[in-house]
Amino acid sequence: MRHLFSFFACILLVTTIQAQVKKGNVTVTIKTPTVQCESCKTRIENYLAREEGVFKVVSDYKRKTVKVTFYTDRTNIENIKTAIANIGYDADDVTADPEAYKKLPLCCKKPEDGGGMKKKG
């Protein structure tokens, strides 16, 4: 009987811990209108993967969005938007850092600055 009680206590404890971990995860979609190509996608995903609290990043340059899943006790959406801006891309209402934008390869710059993917014709 004692072993049965210990077993159920362990199950309850594990279930509670898992529930608490899931509550701390949030997935957000951030608009990134200045993302132009596969290179932009890779740059954003690699950079955000190193950010504390971020554990999943999916950038879609065709839809111009970045979907980020993170631990709310380690970071927040504003920090993530700022991180994206710090590497040279606009993120929702946060404008890209001008110095970081200058360092982007030409293909990653806005079309009005001579960048973007060239159309095959």
The CATH number linked to 84 is: 3.30.70.100
20 assigned to some structural domain: no
More confident residue, 116 or 52: 52
Does 107 score more than 80 pLDDT? yes
Does 8 score more than 70 pLDDT? no
> Which pTM value belongs to this model?
0.77
The parent domain of residue 58 ranges over 25-108
7 assigned to some structural domain: no
If one counts every other C-beta atom within 10 angstroms of the C-beta of residue 40, the result is 26
Say what percent of the chain tops pLDDT 90: 70
Contact 63, 49 (CB under 8 A): no
Q: pLDDT band at residue 19, thresholds of 50, 70 and 90?
A: very low
pLDDT of residue 12: 47
Contact 25, 69 (CB under 8 A): yes
More confident residue, 54 or 11: 54
3 assigned to some structural domain: no
Total of domains in the chain? 1
